[in-house]
Chain A
Amino acid sequence: MIEIKCTVNGKPTQVRIEEGETLLDMIRERLGLTGTKRGCEVGECGACTVLLDGVPTDSCLMLAALADGKDILTIEGISSGRELSVMQQAFVDEGAIQCGYCTPGMILTAHALLKKNKNPTAEDIKRELAGNMCRCAAYNQIINAVQKAAREENKD
Chain B
Amino acid sequence: MYFVKKLYLPETLPEALKILKEHPETTILAGGTDVLVKMRHKRMRDVTLLSLAKLPLSGVEDKGDEIVIGPGTTFTALAENPIMQTRLPMLCTAARSMGGPQIQNVATIGGNVCNGATSADSAPSLFALDAVLTLTSAGGDRRVPIREFYTGPGRVKLESGEMLTAIHIPAGEQARWGGVYIKFSTRKAMDIAILGSAAVCELGEDGRVIKAAIAMGVAAPTPVRCTDAEALLTGKTPTAELLQEAGRLALTACSPRSSWRATKEYREALIQELSVRAFQEAYRLAGGKAL
Q: A residues 55-69 with Cβ under 8 Å of B?
A: 55-58, 61-63, 65-66
* Chain A nearest CB, measured from B8 CB (Å): 10
Contact in complex: A130, B188 (CB < 8 Å):
yes
B36 interface residue (CB < 8 Å to A): yes
* Chain B nearest CB, measured from A135 CB (Å): 14
B3 interface residue (CB < 8 Å to A): yes
Partner of B1, one of A25, A128, A129: A25
**Which residues in A have their C-beta under 8 angstroms from that of B37?**
42-43, 61
Binds B, one of A15-23, A71-79, A84-92: A15-23
Query: How long is the Cα–Cα vector from A145 to B76 in the complex, in angstroms?
Result: 25
* Chain B nearest CB, measured from A101 CB (Å): 16
B100 interface residue (CB < 8 Å to A): yes
Query: How long is the Cα–Cα vector from A152 to B164 in the complex, in angstroms?
Result: 47
Contact in complex: B189, A131 (CB < 8 Å):
yes
Query: How long is the Cα–Cα vector from A10 to B269 in the complex, in angstroms?
Result: 54
B266 interface residue (CB < 8 Å to A): no
Query: How long is the Cα–Cα vector from A21 to B2 in the complex, in angstroms?
Result: 6
**Which residues in A have their C-beta under 8 angstroms from that of B99?**
43, 131
B7 interface residue (CB < 8 Å to A): yes
Partner of B190, one of A18, A44, A63: A44
A103 interface residue (CB < 8 Å to B): no
**Which residues in A have their C-beta under 8 angstroms from that of B190?**
44, 130-131
* Chain A nearest CB, measured from B64 CB (Å): 32
Chain B residue with Cβ nearest A113? B101
Q: B residues 1-40 with Cβ under 8 Å of A?
A: 1-4, 6-7, 9, 29, 32-33, 36-37, 40
Binds A, one of B102-110, B170-178, B227-235, B273-281: B102-110
Query: How long is the Cα–Cα vector from A18 to B106 in the complex, in angstroms?
Result: 21
* Chain A nearest CB, measured from B99 CB (Å): 7
B55 interface residue (CB < 8 Å to A): no
Q: B residues 82-114 with Cβ under 8 Å of A?
A: 99-103, 105-106
A5-18 vs B, CB cutoff 8 Å, 1 = contact: the mask equals 00000000000001
**Which residues in A have their C-beta under 8 angstroms from that of B2?**
20-22, 63
A110-146 vs B, CB cutoff 8 Å, 1 = contact: the mask equals 0000000000000000011111100000000000000
Query: How long is the Cα–Cα vector from A57 to B102 in the complex, in angstroms?
Result: 5
Residue of A22, A63, A128 with most partner-chain B CB within 10 A: A63
A49 interface residue (CB < 8 Å to B): yes
Query: How long is the Cα–Cα vector from A130 to B49 in the complex, in angstroms?
Result: 30
A109 interface residue (CB < 8 Å to B): yes
Chain B residue with Cβ nearest A52? B105
* Chain A nearest CB, measured from B91 CB (Å): 18
24 residue pairs A–B, Cβ–Cβ below 8 Å: A18-B4, A20-B2, A22-B1, A42-B40, A43-B33, A43-B37, A43-B103, A46-B100, A46-B102, A55-B76, A55-B105, A57-B102, A57-B105, A61-B36, A62-B106, A63-B29, A65-B7, A66-B9, A66-B53, A109-B101, A129-B101, A130-B100, A131-B100, A131-B102
Interface residues of A (CB under 8 A from B): 18-22, 25, 41-44, 46, 49, 55-58, 61-63, 65-66, 109, 127-132
